[in-house]
Amino acid sequence: MGMNSTGVRPFIAPLSRFAIAALILVANLGAACPPAPASSQETRAQVEQLDKAAQAAMQQQQYEQAVQYFREIVCLAPKSAREFYGLGAAEAASGDFLAARKSLRTADRLEPTNVLPLTMLVRVNVAMKDVDSLKAVLREAASRFPNDTELHGSLAHFLAGKDQLDLALAEALRARSGATDAESTVGLAALENSAGAYDDAIRNSAAIESKAGAPASLRASAAGVAGLSYESAGKPEQAVARLRHAIELDPSRETSYLALAMIYSNANRLDDAVKVLRLGLEKLPSSTALLLPLGANLVGSGQYQSGIDVLQRLLLQSPNEVGAYLQIADASHKLGKFNQEAQALKDLAKQKPDYPMIHVLIARAMLSVVPVNGPAVASELDLAEKATPSDPDIPYLHGKLDVEMNHYQEAIASFQRAIQLRPMDSATYYQLARAYQKLGNADQAKQAFERMSYAKENEAAAQ
């Protein structure tokens, strides 16, 4: 039975007809083959049964068990390229890349017209960081399959995703040499942009952008690549022009709006970024990808409530967007809606309990709410201390809470602890001085104010 000759897919993803998940690691072939069944019919039946078991094990990520099944299969079917390929994929997924290379080489020898063993060998060598072997396999693929544009195009995209940009460009050129179509030219331009060859990327993409006979969507893609290349080359006006043209050519391309808005945001043209993203939502009303940058740019431009409304709309559709909670909290704080700020951060904690410093952020927001809920703030600070006991913000906020509760002696102890952890923080010395004043300790308050001034001078010098 021959292998499927379709293109490469990501490591642990179904591979067409035989649905083998590909790549992570291995275990060595070694055990001797058991006695074969008496008849060929019994052998075929046993192979089919073992193959089903192997596929099920792969789907359940029981890779070592799958390896054992495939080893039994190749004992029964030693001339099956398909089963050796399956063994190689299972070995790779279980951890033994050396064994995987051996099995995949066997599959390639048994069926040399199929591209899959070589494509999997590329992935194995990338995972092993064996650049010499990787280059050798790529040269072999170029020699044996010079006109397979699908193979070389898929290898180019895979290698680009693994930051092997030089090799990706070589594969893109091989794909292009097998077919001079516009799509391969745009793909090459995209890789050139990723590799920093911006002038080449602009030249290749411009050729397709201006090609009247090319589909509008492909010309839009070319214009988008040119825009990104111009932006990376430090030519923002040309970048804006190209991305605007991309939107005109194909208003359904979400990435064009995002890229143009990013350029505007980077240039602090937040109102322009908002206009582009609103236009994108008019054309693509179901898009969620446009909502987060729209909300962030609204908040950044001072349109706090509008930003909150957009971000809350996003969270209704996609509640795991961490950035949305943070933007809502920021906008709420600037509006003086401290309860809403605290609630946004609590909602973030529910979605992502391990978010860095989340309980410190919640406690800080809750301290701005009037009246302060002392036990609730203390509870958040206790959780924060369990996570990061040496964080100076925790005793600092404890001190501010103690002041709110009129526990000035406890506040002084907390601020002194914060100073031990962060000796040159002017804000802590200020709070310490105020606590001494509340207790009537004028001399100690004066010393704390003097240290505050010294810390401020150091902070200014550091900037």
Query: Per residue, what are the HEC states of the chain?
Result: CCCCCCCCCCCCCCCHHHCCCCCCCCCCCCCCCCCCCCCHHHHHHHHHHHHHHHHHHHHCCCHHHHHHHHHHHHHHCCCCHHHHHHHHHHHHHHCCHHHHHHHHHHHHHHCCCCCHHHHHHHHHHHHHCCHHHHHHHHHHHHHHCCCCHHHHHHHHHHHHHCCCHHHHHHHHHHHHHHCCCHHHHHHHHHHHHHCCCHHHHHHHHHHHHCCCCCCHHHHHHHHHHHHHHHHHCCCHHHHHHHHHHHHHHCCCCHHHHHHHHHHHHHCCCHHHHHHHHHHHHHHCCCCCCCHHHHHHHHHHCCCHHHHHHHHHHHHHHCCCCHHHHHHHHHHHHHCCCHHHHHHHHHHHHHHCCCCCCHHHHHHHHHCCCCCCCHHHHHHHHHHHHHHCCCCCHHHHHHHHHHHHCCCHHHHHHHHHHHHHHCCCCHHHHHHHHHHHHHCCCHHHHHHHHHHHHHHHHHHHHHC
Q: Comparing 1-137 with 146-250, is the CATH topology the same?
A: yes
Res. 19: pLDDT tops 60: no
| Residue found under tokens 């009247």 | 212
Instruction: State what percent of residues in the chain have pLDDT above 90.
Output: 70
Q: How confident is the model at residue 5 (pLDDT cuts 50, 70, 90)?
A: very low
Res. 334: pLDDT tops 50: yes
Q: How confident is the model at residue 332 (pLDDT cuts 50, 70, 90)?
A: very high
Q: How confident is the model at residue 8 (pLDDT cuts 50, 70, 90)?
A: very low
**pLDDT value of position 20:** 33
Of residues 321 and 174, more confidently modeled: 321
Range 272-296 average pLDDT: 96
pTM above 0.75, yes or no: no
Give the class (CATH, top level) of 1-137: mainly alpha
Of residues 408 and 21, more confidently modeled: 408
Averaged pLDDT of the chain: 88
The domain segmentation of the chain, as residue ranges, is 1-137, 146-250
Phi and psi torsions of 285, nearest 5°: -65, -20
**pLDDT value of position 153:** 76
| Residue found under tokens 């001079």 | 180
Domain 146-250: CATH architecture, name and number where available: Alpha Horseshoe (1.25)
- Poorest-pLDDT segment among 13-17, 218-222, 328-332, 337-341: 13-17
Range 85-105 average pLDDT: 93
